Amino acid sequence: MPEGIYSGANLSEVMSDLRNLVNFQDKGMEVVELTRELEEKLIPHLLNYSRPEFQSMFNTFPEEGAFLGAELALRFNQGVTNWQVSPGGAVLEELCCRKLCELFGLADKSDATFMYSGTYGNQQAIYLALHQFAESKGFDYSVEGMAGFANPKKLKILAAENTHFSVTHAAHFLGLGEESLLKVGLTTDQRMDLTEFKDALNKNHSEYEIFCVVCTLGSTITGSVDQIQNVTEM
């Protein structure tokens, strides 16, 4: 592992070092040779995000428990779906989801699931919000889709300016379009501005149908956390 954030090599140098790793042949490298190649040619160019100089994202090198989880996943869940057809895996996931609902003080009928990534989770959440809003309008969104709304152009998502890119992607693939996003400004500490948020709610209440409000719990740029309790009360 490099002593600094990474090797400091330029793009040409990195490409030169890695070229042999994609020199595909009928017979591959021996594991010993591959290990040496990775240690010498790849790892020095990987970001060493355990260094204090690395100030992006919010990762640390995994501790002992994380290594154990990674080992279990590699042994028993290589195909991702393997876990859900394993009695132990499926039941453990269900019990964990129930406990999380309990810890967050959600209603008894609440449910949860694990998603493959934060991006997919955000997109699924917006889909569910749209589905719930459709129910309030008296139709099943999974059956009628966007055509079930009297005026789909009035549907809006209220989010802060620094909202995650997956929110925009969700607007794309759900057929809402980027015009469905109503952006709220930020305070000096990079949190959603509650005054602007309240104004946006009041101003757009009659003109639009805001079916979803997106808050951020640790933005990928600054780590800022929106005042979710205040937003919920509004």
**According to the model, what pLDDT value does residue 221 have?**
78
Check whether 227 has a pLDDT greater than 60. Answer: yes
218: left (phi over 0), alpha (psi -120 to 50) or beta: left
Residue 49 lies in a domain: yes
Do both 125 and 223 map to the same domain? yes
Do both 139 and 216 map to the same domain? yes
Do both 147 and 53 map to the same domain? no
* Domain span holding position 84: 72-103
If you average pLDDT over every residue of the chain, what do you get?
89
Check whether 9 has a pLDDT greater than 90. Answer: yes
Do both 152 and 189 map to the same domain? yes
Do both 201 and 150 map to the same domain? yes
Distance CA 193, CA 159 (A): 10
State the alpha helices, DSSP H only, in the chain.
11-18, 31-37, 64-76, 87-103, 118-136, 141-144, 165-173, 194-204, 228-233
pLDDT band at 122 (very low <50, low <70, confident <90, very high): very high
> Where residue 228 sits, what CATH number does that domain have?
3.40.640.10
Residue 124 lies in a domain: yes
**According to the model, what pLDDT value does residue 77 have?**
84
Residue 160 lies in a domain: yes
Residue 77 lies in a domain: yes
- Would you report the helix, strand and coil content of the chain in percent, each value rounded to 5? 50, 10, 40
Residue 109 lies in a domain: no
b/e per residue 211-233 (b: at least 16 CB within 10 A): bbbbbbeebeeeebebbeeebee
Do both 150 and 49 map to the same domain? no
Distance CA 156, CA 164 (A): 16
Do both 151 and 77 map to the same domain? no
pLDDT band at 144 (very low <50, low <70, confident <90, very high): very high
pLDDT band at 57 (very low <50, low <70, confident <90, very high): low
Do both 54 and 98 map to the same domain? no
pLDDT band at 229 (very low <50, low <70, confident <90, very high): confident
Tell me the mean pLDDT in the region 139-153: 94
Do both 223 and 133 map to the same domain? yes
Amino acid (1-letter code) at residue 128: L
Do both 137 and 212 map to the same domain? yes
Q: Residue 217 in contact with residue 160, Cβ under 8 Å?
A: no
**According to the model, what pLDDT value does residue 62 have?**
78
The larger pLDDT score, comparing residue 60 to residue 175, is at 175
**According to the model, what pLDDT value does residue 232 have?**
85
Tell me which of 12-26, 132-146, 209-223 is least confident. 209-223
Do both 36 and 123 map to the same domain? no
**According to the model, what pLDDT value does residue 1 have?**
54
Half-sphere exposure of 198 (CA within 13 A, CB side): 6
Do both 98 and 202 map to the same domain? no
Domains held by the chain: number? 3
33: left (phi over 0), alpha (psi -120 to 50) or beta: alpha
pLDDT band at 212 (very low <50, low <70, confident <90, very high): very high
Check whether 152 has a pLDDT greater than 60. Answer: yes
